[in-house]
C-alpha cells in the first residue's frame, strides 16, 4: 500500500503504537508479550530472528531457514493465490476496524493496518471496553450463493487443468507443441459436473405444488460444504436470533434433526452483493428545511418560536399553512421540527447496520399525511424492545408480515397460533396435492397472488397486446412486435409425481398488459394460490370417529370430486447390448396370452389412452438366454427357423404391484437421436401413467394451522349432522384438537369464513394486521341480520301477493314469490333494478337495510354502502352497532317464538337492556331453545341418524382444508408370498421390495400375553423362515389339506452357525434323549424333511 506503520520496529515504537488501548495497569498485553520473547542475538537483525522463531513454532519439523520462513509467511498471508480475503472479507474488515480511509476495497490481502487494528480490538475486548462478536448474528453470517459455490469448484478444476498443462509443457518438445495437445478441459468439466450432480446443496426441486417450488428456491442452509454438520450443531446456532427479523423466517424450518439449520428467506428479504441478507424499511423524518415546499401541510411537533422576539409563530400540534411557512422563513429559522412522518423512501439494511437505529413496527398507526397518530409507539433497537417517543424513531417496518416467510404469511390469524403448530402449518402447505378443482381460500392473507405469480408455474404476459387465439395447449398474444405464442404444459409430471396442468384464463379479443395472468396452473385460480378446498366444518365429537385427531368426511366431498387429484408416475425400460446378444423391444413375447398384448402396438409399446392395472405389460422386451448344448432336434429347428428358435427370456416392463391408471404419454429414445443415453443402452422407453385418486379413509388432511389428521371414515351424507336449514356438514373435526395445541387461528378462520360465505364476500386478513374478534363478531351479526331480513321478506311477499290476488300456482317456489316482491318493493325505493336481478348479494343487503329502517334503526351505520364511507368510518362504532342490532332483534325473536317455554326472569324489555345483559341471558335462552346467539359463532346442529338436535350449540364454519401428499394408496400394502432374505430366509421388508409386515418384539409379547400359542408359532416359523414348512403350508392351503406341523426356522440354524464359529459345539437333545447335531453332513441329511421344533427334532417322517 506504500505506507508502513513501523520505522525501526523497536520495543518503544510498539509500546507507543498501542498505548491508546493497552491501558490496563494490572495486565499490559504488549509489555507482557515483549517480556516473554526469547533472548535475541545482537549480531543479527531481530526481525529475521523473530521470523525464524515464528516458523519454528508453526512448522516444528521443517529446517528453520530464513528463506523458508519468509516464503511460509508470504504464502500464508500475502500471496493472493493462496490467501484471498475476497470482496466481502475486505469490506467486513474495513467496516469492523474502521479502515475505509486506509485500505481500499480492491486490496484483498492482509495489511499491517489490519493486524495492528485487530490486536487493538482484541486488547479492548479483553479489557472490557468492547464486546465480543456474536457468532450467530446475521451481521457475521452470510449467504454463499450458487455463483460463489460454483466459482470455488471452478477454481479447483482450473488448478487441476493448470497442473496438467505444466506437466505436458515440461515433457513435450517446444517446437511441436500446440494448444490442443497441452490443454485438457476434462478436469474443469468434471468439477462442474460434480458440483451439480453430487453436491449436498444441489437438490432435486420440490414441485408438489407452486408453493413448494417457490419455498425450495428461497431455502437457506447451514449445512453443506464449508458449513455445519447436523450432529455437531448446538442449540445456539439453531435458535431464532433477534437479527433474523425480516431476514430469515422464525417459523418455517424442518421438524427433524435439521431444525434451525435449514430456514427460508423472509417475505421481503434479499441478499446483497456481499452475501448479507438485507430487509427494507421506510425512513422516518422529524424535521424539514424551512425553505422546502414539503413543509406546508405538516404539524409542528413543538412550539415554533421567533428567535429574536420570542413570539410563538406556530403552536405545538398546529398545521403549518403557506402563510405560517412564509413567517417561519422570514424569522430566519433554517430547520423546523415537525411531527415525525413516514416518507416513501425505502432503504434496505443489513443486520449490523440496523442495530444502530430505532425501528417502529409496521402496524404503528399513521394518518393520511404519514404522521404518527400516537406520541409513543412500540419499537426495537438492537436486542431491546421498547415503548419509544415517536421523535426518536428512525425507521418503520414496510409491513407487519415482514418478519415471516412466504409460507407463514399464507396462514390467516398466524398471531393466534402457537409457533410449533404454525411451523407444522407452513411445512404442510408445501405438501398439499394439487386438486382437480382449485379453490382460492375464502379467508386469505393477500399473499396468495404474490406466491402464485413468483412460483414460476403460472403463465404471465411478457408484453401488452390482444389475445388472438386460445386453445387447450397455447395462447397467442399479438403485441407491438407481432404475435407471441405461449405454450401451456398439459398433464406434465412433476418431480413429486403430482400433475402440472396449465389452463388458459383469457378469452379471444381480450386486452392484456405486461404481467397479466394468461394461464393458471394446478394449484392456482385466476393467478392466486389455491392449495385446498373451502369446506363446511363442525367441531364435534361424533361416535368416536374423530378420536386422536381423526377426521370424518362426508361422502358428498368424494362424490363431487372436491378432493380428487391426478398423479402421474413414470416407468422406464432400457434395452441393453448384453454379452449374449442385444435385448429387443418387441410385440412377440414368449408364453404370453393375446389378451395381455391387446394394448401393445406393433413395436411392443403400449398405446396412449390404454387403461392399465398391476402386472400389465407396458413395454414388451426379450433378453437372450445363455446357450446350452443343443439336442439334434433343436439343431434341426435352428437350421429351419434360424434365430427365431433361440431361447429368450421375457423381461418386459410391467406395471408394479398396487399401481393402476391410464397411459398419458410414451417417449422412445434411441442412440441415433439421443446421444446422452447411458453407456450400453441402445433404446430407452418412458411410459407415463396417470391416475385419479379420490378421497378415501387413510388419507392425510390438514388445515393451515398445523391441525392435521387422518380420515377415519367416509360417512354417508344422510348420517352427517346438518344445520337447521338442512345443509349437511362436510367435515367433522375433533374439538379436543384445539385447546391443547393452542392453534386458535383455526377457530377464528372458521368463524370469519362462515360470515364471509353467508354474506358473499372474500375476507383478506393479513398476518399480524388482520381482523380482530370484534370485527368477526360484527360480520357474523350482519350475516344473521341479512338472513333474518330475507326470511321476513318472504313473509311479506306472501301477504303482498294475496293482496294482489296473484295466481300462486303459477309460481315455481318461494324464491320466485320473494323475487317478485323484492324487485317491486326496492324499485319504488330507487334501487337499481337491473343489478337486483343479477346480483343476489346486492339484493340481500338492500333488503336488510330497508328492513332495519322499517324497524327504526340507523341502517347506514350498520351496513355502509358507499366505499368512501368505509374509509372514513369509525370502525369500532360501526361494528358495535351491528352487534347491538343483532342482539336486540335475536332476543326479541326468541321471546316472540319461544316465550311460552322461557322462564319469567328471561322476559325483559329488549329496547332498554344493554348488549352485555342480553349476551349473558342468551346462554340461558339457548338452554331452552337450542338456538345460540348468532354472533357467538355457534349453530344448532341436528344429528343425521336420530333427527334430534345436539345438546349444545356447535362451532360451525368454513375452513380451508388441504389434502397432503401422504396418500393411503401409496402406503397400504399386503403380500402372501414374495422375495426372501438370503441369509435369514425371512421375508424382505417394505413396499418397494414387496416385503412382509414386520412382526417385532412387542407384537410377540402381545401374542404371548393373549396366550395365542399356535398363532405365535406360525408367525415365527411357517409365516417367516421355516423354508420347507412354508412351501408345504402353501401347498396344503392350495390343496385344502390339513397344515403340517412347523419345522426348524432358518434363523435358528444361522444362530447355531454363529455359535459354531465361536468354537462352541451346539447340539439339541430331544425329550427321548436323542442328540441332534448341526454339522454340514447332518444338514444335508436332514434337509429332505422338516421337523416340528426342538422337542420333536429327532422324529422323522421319511
| Residue 990 pLDDT | 86
Q: Is residue 870 scored above 80 in pLDDT?
A: no
Q: Is residue 31 scored above 80 in pLDDT?
A: yes
| Residue 254 pLDDT | 96
Q: Model confidence over 219-251: pLDDT tens digits?
A: 999 998 889 999 999 999 999 999 999 999 999
| Residue 645 pLDDT | 52
H/E segment holding residue 226: none
Q: Compute the average pLDDT of residues 339-352.
A: 94
H/E segment holding residue 876: helix 875-898
Beta bridge partners of 526: none
Q: Model confidence over 631-686: pLDDT tens digits?
A: 788 778 777 776 555 678 899 999 998 899 999 999 999 988 888 888 889 999 99
Quick one: which of 562, 501, 541, 522 has its CA closest to 963? 562
| Residue 549 pLDDT | 94
| Residue 1084 pLDDT | 61
| Residue 877 pLDDT | 81
The confidence band for 177, taking pLDDT boundaries of 50, 70 and 90, is confident
- Which pairing describes strands 731-733 and 533-539: parallel, antiparallel, or unpaired? parallel
| Residue 684 pLDDT | 95
| Residue 1098 pLDDT | 41
DSSP string, 348-389: EEEHHHHTTS-EE-TT--B-TTSBBSSSEEEEEETTEEEEEE
Instruction: Give 695's contacts (C-beta < 8 A, 6+ positions apart).
Output: 553, 557, 558, 562, 563, 564, 711, 714, 963
| Residue 1083 pLDDT | 63
Task: Calculate the average pLDDT of the chain.
Answer: 90
Least confident span in 215-219, 481-485, 859-863: 859-863
Q: Is residue 1091 scored above 90 in pLDDT?
A: no
CA dist 559 and 917 (Å) reads 46
| Residue 267 pLDDT | 96
Distances in whole angstroms, Cα of residue 457 to Cα of each of 207, 619, 1071: 9, 32, 74
Fold of the domain spanning 583-606+616-686: OB fold (Dihydrolipoamide Acetyltransferase, E2P) (2.40.50)
Quick one: which of 965, 972, 958, 973 has its CA closest to 565? 965
So where are the chain's domains? 270-398, 583-606+616-686, 771-936, 977-1086
Q: Model confidence over 80-129: pLDDT tens digits?
A: 888 888 899 999 999 999 998 889 999 888 988 999 999 999 999 999 99
The percentage of residues in the chain with a pLDDT greater than 90, rounded to a whole number, is 65
- Which pairing describes strands 708-715 and 551-554: parallel, antiparallel, or unpaired? parallel
Give yes or no for a contact between 599 and 610, defined as CB atoms under 8 angstroms apart. yes
The confidence band for 43, taking pLDDT boundaries of 50, 70 and 90, is confident
| Residue 46 pLDDT | 84
Give yes or no for a contact between 750 and 955, defined as CB atoms under 8 angstroms apart. yes
| Residue 1102 pLDDT | 39
CA dist 540 and 733 (Å) reads 6
In 10 A of CB 829, how many CB atoms?
A: 10
DSSP string, 1020-1053: HTTTTT-HHHHHHHHHHHHTT-PPPPP---HHHH
Q: Is residue 869 scored above 90 in pLDDT?
A: no
3 state SS of 927: helix
| DSSP E strand stretches across 906-965 | 938-939, 941-942, 954-963
The percentage of residues in the chain with a pLDDT greater than 70, rounded to a whole number, is 96
The confidence band for 1099, taking pLDDT boundaries of 50, 70 and 90, is very low
- C-alpha neighbours within 13 Å on the C-beta side of residue 213: 23
Q: 270-398: what CATH class?
A: mainly beta
Instruction: Give 261's contacts (C-beta < 8 A, 6+ positions apart).
Output: 221, 222, 223, 228, 230, 233, 237, 238, 253
Q: Is residue 780 scored above 50 in pLDDT?
A: yes
Q: Compute the average pLDDT of residues 962-978.
A: 90
3 state SS of 563: coil
The confidence band for 369, taking pLDDT boundaries of 50, 70 and 90, is confident
Q: Is residue 1090 scored above 60 in pLDDT?
A: no
Query: H helices within 172-321, ranges in order?
Result: 179-182, 186-198, 210-217, 235-238
CA dist 269 and 243 (Å) reads 12
For the chain, give the longest Cα–Cα distance: 132
| Residue 812 pLDDT | 84
pTM over 0.75: yes
Q: Compute the average pLDDT of residues 274-294.
A: 92
| Residue 1097 pLDDT | 39
CA dist 443 and 910 (Å) reads 34
- What's domain 977-1086's superfamily in CATH? RNA polymerase alpha subunit dimerisation domain (3.90.1800.10)
Amino acid at each position: 500500500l506504500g505506507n508502513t506503520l513501523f520505522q525501526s520496529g523497536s520495543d518503544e515504537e510498539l509500546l507507543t503504537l498501542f498505548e491508546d488501548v493497552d491501558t490496563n495497569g494490572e495486565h499490559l498485553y504488549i509489555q507482557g508479550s515483549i517480556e516473554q520473547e526469547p533472548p535475541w542475538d545482537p549480531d543479527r537483525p531481530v526481525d529475521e530472528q523473530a521470523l525464524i522463531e515464528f516458523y519454528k513454532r508453526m512448522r516444528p519439523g521443517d529446517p528453520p531457514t530464513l528463506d523458508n520462513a519468509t516464503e511460509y509467511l508470504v504464502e500464508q498471508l500475502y500471496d493472493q493465490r493462496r490467501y484471498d480475503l475476497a470482496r466481502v472479507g475486505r469490506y467486513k474488515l474495513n467496516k469492523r476496524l474502521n479502515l475505509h480511509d486506509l485500505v481500499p476495497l480492491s486490496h484483498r490481502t492482509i495489511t499491517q493496518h489490519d493486524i495492528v487494528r485487530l490486536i487493538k480490538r482484541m486488547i479492548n475486548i479483553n479489557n472490557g471496553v468492547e464486546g465480543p462478536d456474536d457468532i450467530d448474528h446475521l451481521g457475521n453470517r452470510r449467504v454463499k450463493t450458487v455463483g460463489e459455490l460454483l466459482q470455488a469448484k471452478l477454481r479447483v478444476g482450473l488448478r487441476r487443468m493448470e497442473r496438467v498443462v505444466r506437466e505436458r509443457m515440461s515433457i513435450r518438445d517446444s517446437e511441436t507443441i500446440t494448444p490442443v495437445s497441452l490443454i485438457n478441459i476434462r478436469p474443469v468439466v468434471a468439477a462442474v459436473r460434480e458440483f451439480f450432480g453430487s453436491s449436498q446443496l444441489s437438490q432435486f426441486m420440490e414441485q408438489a405444488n407452486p408453493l413448494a417450488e417457490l419455498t425450495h428456491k428461497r431455502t437457506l442452509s447451514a449445512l453443506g460444504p464449508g458449513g455445519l454438520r447436523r450432529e455437531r450443531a448446538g442449540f445456539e446456532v439453531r435458535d431464532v436470533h433477534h437479527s433474523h427479523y425480516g431476514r430469515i423466517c422464525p417459523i418455517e424450518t424442518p421438524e427433524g434433526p435439521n431444525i434451525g439449520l435449514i430456514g427460508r428467506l423472509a417475505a421481503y428479504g434479499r441478499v446483497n452483493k456481499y452475501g448479507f441478507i438485507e430487509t427494507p424499511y421506510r425512513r422516518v423524518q422529524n424535521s424539514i428545511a424551512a425553505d422546502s415546499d414539503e413543509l406546508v401541510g405538516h404539524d409542528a411537533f413543538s412550539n415554533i418560536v421567533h428567535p429574536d422576539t420570542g413570539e410563538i409563530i406556530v403552536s405545538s400540534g398546529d398545521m403549518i399553512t403557506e402563510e405560517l411557512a412564509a413567517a417561519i422563513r422570514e424569522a430566519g429559522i433554517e430547520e423546523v421540527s415537525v411531527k415525525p412522518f413516514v416518507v416513501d423512501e425505502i432503504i434496505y439494511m443489513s443486520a449490523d447496520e440496523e442495530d444502530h437505529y430505532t425501528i417502529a413496527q409496521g402496524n404503528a398507526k399513521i394518518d393520511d399525511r404519514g404522521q404518527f397518530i400516537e406520541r409513543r409507539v412500540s419499537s426495537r433497537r438492537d436486542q431491546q424492545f421498547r415503548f419509544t417517543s415517536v421523535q426518536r424513531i428512525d425507521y418503520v417496518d414496510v409491513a407487519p408480515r415482514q418478519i415471516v416467510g412466504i409460507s407463514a404469511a399464507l396462514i390467516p390469524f398466524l398471531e393466534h397460533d402457537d409457533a410449533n403448530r404454525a411451523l407444522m402449518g407452513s411445512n404442510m402447505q408445501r405438501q398439499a396435492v394439487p386438486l382437480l378443482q382449485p379453490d382460492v381460500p375464502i379467508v386469505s392473507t393477500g399473499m396468495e397472488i404474490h406466491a402464485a405469480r413468483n412460483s414460476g408455474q403460472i403463465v404471465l404476459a411478457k408484453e401488452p397486446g390482444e389475445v388472438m387465439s386460445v386453445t387447450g395447449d397455447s395462447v397467442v398474444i399479438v403485441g407491438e412486435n407481432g404475435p407471441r405464442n405461449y405454450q401451456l404444459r398439459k398433464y406434465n409430471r412433476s418431480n413429486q409425481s403430482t400433475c402440472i396442468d396449465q389452463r388458459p384464463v383469457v378469452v379471444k379479443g381480450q386486452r392484456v398488459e405486461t404481467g397479466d395472468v394468461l394461464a393458471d396452473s394446478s394449484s392456482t385460480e385466476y393467478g392466486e394460490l389455491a392449495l385446498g378446498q373451502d369446506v363446511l366444518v363442525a367441531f364435534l365429537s361424533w361416535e368416536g370417529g374423530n378420536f386422536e385427531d381423526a377426521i370424518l368426511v362426508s361422502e358428498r366431498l368424494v362424490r363431487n370430486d372436491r378432493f380428487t387429484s391426478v398423479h402421474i408416475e413414470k416407468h422406464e425400460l432400457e434395452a441393453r447390448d448384453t454379452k449374449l446378444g442385444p435385448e429387443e423391444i418387441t410385440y412377440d413375447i414368449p408364453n404370453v396370452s393375446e389378451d395381455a398384448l391387446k394394448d401393445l402396438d406393433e413395436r411392443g409399446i403400449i398405446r396412449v389412452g390404454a387403461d392399465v392395472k398391476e402386472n400389465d405389460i407396458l413395454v414388451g422386451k426379450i433378453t437372450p438366454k445363455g446357450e446350452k448344448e443343443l439336442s439334434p432336434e433343436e439343431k434341426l429347428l435352428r437350421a429351419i427357423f434360424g434365430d427365431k428358435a433361440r431361447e429368450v427370456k421375457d423381461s418386459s416392463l410391467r406395471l408394479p404391484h398396487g399401481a393402476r391408471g391410464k397411459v398419458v404419454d410414451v417417449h422412445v429414445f434411441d442412440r441415433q437421436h439421443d446421444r446422452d443415453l447411458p453407456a450400453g443402452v441402445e433404446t430407452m422407453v418412458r411410459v407415463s401413467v396417470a391416475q385419479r385418486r379420490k378421497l378415501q379413509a387413510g388419507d392425510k388432511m390438514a388445515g393451515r394451522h398445523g391441525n392435521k389428521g387422518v380420515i377415519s371414515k367416509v360417512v354417508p351424507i344422510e348420517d352427517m349432522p346438518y344445520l337447521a336449514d338442512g345443509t349437511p356438514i362436510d367435515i367433522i373435526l375433533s374439538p379436543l384438537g384445539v385447546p391443547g395445541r393452542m392453534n386458535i387461528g383455526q377457530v377464528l378462520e372458521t368463524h370469519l369464513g362462515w360470515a364471509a360465505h353467508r354474506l358473499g364476500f372474500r375476507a383478506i386478513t393479513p398476518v399480524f394486521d388482520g381482523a380482530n374478534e370484534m370485527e368477526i363478531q360484527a360480520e357474523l351479526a350482519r350475516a344473521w341480520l341479512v338472513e333474518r331480513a330475507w326470511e321476513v321478506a318472504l313473509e311479506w311477499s306472501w301477504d303482498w301477493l294475496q293482496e294482489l290476488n296473484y295466481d300462486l300456482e303459477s309460481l315455481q317456489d318461494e324464491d320466485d314469490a320473494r323475487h317478485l316482491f323484492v324487485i317491486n318493493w326496492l324499485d319504488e325505493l330507487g334501487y337499481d333494478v337491473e343489478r337486483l336481478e343479477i346480483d343476489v348479494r346486492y339484493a340481500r343487503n338492500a333488503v336488510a337495510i330497508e328492513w332495519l329502517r322499517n324497524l327504526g334503526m340507523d341502517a347506514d351505520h350498520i351496513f355502509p354502502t358507499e366505499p368512501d364511507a368505509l374509509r372514513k368510518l369509525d370502525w369500532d362504532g360501526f361494528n358495535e352497532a351491528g352487534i347491538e342490532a343483532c342482539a336486540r332483534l335475536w332476543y326479541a325473536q326468541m321471546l316472540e317464538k319461544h316465550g311460552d317455554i322461557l322462564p319469567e326472569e328471561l322476559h325483559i324489555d329488549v329496547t332498554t337492556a344493554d348488549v352485555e345483559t342480553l349476551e349473558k341471558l342468551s346462554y340461558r335462552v339457548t338452554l331452552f331453545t337450542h338456538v345460540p346467539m348468532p354472533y357467538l359463532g355457534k349453530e344448532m346442529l341436528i344429528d343425521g341418524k336420530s333427527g334430534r338436535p345436539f345438546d349444545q350449540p356447535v362451532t360451525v364454519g368454513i375452513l380451508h382444508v388441504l389434502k397432503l401428499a401422504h396418500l393411503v394408496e401409496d402406503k397400504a400394502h399386503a403380500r402372501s408370498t414374495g422375495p426372501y432374505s438370503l441369509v435369514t430366509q425371512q421375508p424382505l421388508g417394505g413396499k418397494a421390495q414387496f416385503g412382509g409386515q414386520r412382526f417385532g418384539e412387542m407384537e410377540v409379547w402381545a401374542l404371548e400375553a393373549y396366550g395365542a400359542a399356535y398363532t405365535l408359532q406360525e408367525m415365527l416359523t411357517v409365516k417367516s423362515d421355516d423354508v420347507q414348512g412354508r412351501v408345504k403350508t402353501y401347498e396344503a392351503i392350495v390343496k385344502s389339506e390339513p397344515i403340517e406341523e412347523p419345522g426348524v426356522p432358518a434363523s435358528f440354524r444361522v444362530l447355531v452357525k454363529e455359535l459354531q464359529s465361536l468354537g462352541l459345539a451346539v447340539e439339541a437333545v430331544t425329550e427321548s434323549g436323542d442328540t441332534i447335531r448341526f454339522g454340514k453332513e447332518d444338514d444335508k441329511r436332514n434337509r429332505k424333511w422338516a421337523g416340528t421344533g426342538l422337542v420333536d427334532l429327532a422324529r422323522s417322517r421319511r
